[in-house]
Amino acid sequence: MALLLHFDDEAALAGRIAAAAGMDCAPIERHRFPDGELRLRLPAALPPATVLLRGLQQPNEKLVELLLAARTARELGAARLALVAPYLAYMRQDIAFAPGEAVSQRIVGGFLAGLFDALLTVDPHLHRVATLAEAAPLAQARSLSAAPLLAQVVAAHRPGALLLGPDAESAQWVGAAAAAQGFAHAVCSKQRTGDRAVEIRLPDIVLRGRAVVLLDDVASSGHTLAHAAQQLHAAGAASVDVAVTHALFAGDALALIRDAGVGEVWSTDCIAHPSNAVSVAPLLAEALRALEGGYA
């Protein structure tokens, strides 16, 4: 039987995945020395098929954890090693936008491919590449979507709502969610001039009196969602709510979108957050069972 390894801060999600997949799970002990270095301790013996759970929000230190944990897992018996990263960082920069820039997607994807035999993630922010395997060159690189799960939540709370993507990149998730529950949907256009500076143009459709749910893969700074919500209220929307896969909500992002008139905020448990309304554990468990190598 495969074993799911996890860190203490993701024990709840690990337990849900393990229960859904019918596998055991075990923690990785983590100690930080005064100088900032890390000491990890894994179970003394691992089965041939081992899975490591690590979401890569706030990723920089976690990438070092993956290096230490993956190499140690191999030494302890893991002949086949899979990474479940519900949130996959460093995917937005897939080209060099200026001379000398690091193409982080390619570098981090190659780093992960050198450590693991398989990779599962949920709604990665892929833009100019078609598949996850282009970013992380693994034979078993699987990108899953939580959009249908979010659609279930919206259907339960806002039946008949209009699903609206805040930008062109969100079209894939809005389309999948709309198809799952038969929602009407549309997409805004966005021009970004900085990390927290955006301009949003609403689609040319009737918005007055409608319940609108802004749906996207990730909420980070909150500025895109806040600008969209403000314009929707100005256009006469009856209500504006938000549904996102990844609830990053950096800094004051949640307060920012609340101040813009957003009512409910629903997210998945890819990232633990008070807004979590649906679990991706069954989705990830099913994908683990489908991997070659007996991971679940």
pLDDT in tens, 28-37: 999 999 999 9
Question: So what's the pLDDT on residue 198?
Answer: 67
Q: Are residues 114 and 213 in the same domain?
A: no
Question: So what's the pLDDT on residue 5?
Answer: 98
Q: What is the span of the domain harbouring residue 23? A: 3-145+280-290
Residue 21 CB burial class (10 angstroms; 0-12, 13-18, ≥19): buried
Of 248, 238, 242, 247, the closest CA to residue 264 belongs to: 242
Q: Are residues 78 and 180 in the same domain?
A: no
Question: So what's the pLDDT on residue 168?
Answer: 85
Residue 219 CB burial class (10 angstroms; 0-12, 13-18, ≥19): buried
Residue 54 and residue 63 in contact, taking contact as beta carbons nearer than 8 Å: no
Q: Are residues 192 and 129 in the same domain?
A: no
Cα 143 from Cα 123, distance rounded (Å):
6
The number of domains in the chain is: 2
Cα 291 from Cα 21, distance rounded (Å):
12
| Residue 295 located in a structural domain | no
Question: So what's the pLDDT on residue 190?
Answer: 74
Q: Are residues 131 and 201 in the same domain?
A: no
Of 112, 104, 102, 103, the closest CA to residue 136 belongs to: 112
Q: Are residues 171 and 85 in the same domain?
A: no
Which CATH number characterizes residue 121's domain? 3.40.50.2020
Q: Which residues of the chain have pLDDT under 50?
A: none
pLDDT in tens, 28-62: 999 999 999 999 999 999 999 999 999 999 999 99
Q: Using alpha carbons only, what angle is made at residue 89 by residues 271 and 58, rounded to the nearest 5 degrees?
A: 60
Question: So what's the pLDDT on residue 30?
Answer: 97
| Residue 196 located in a structural domain | yes
Q: Are residues 95 and 12 in the same domain?
A: yes
Q: Using alpha carbons only, what angle is made at residue 64 by residues 115 and 271, rounded to the nearest 5 degrees?
A: 90
pLDDT in tens, 91-122: 988 888 899 999 999 999 999 999 999 999 99
Q: Are residues 11 and 89 in the same domain?
A: yes
Q: Are residues 45 and 124 in the same domain?
A: yes
Q: What letter does residue 159 receive in the DSSP assignment?
A: T
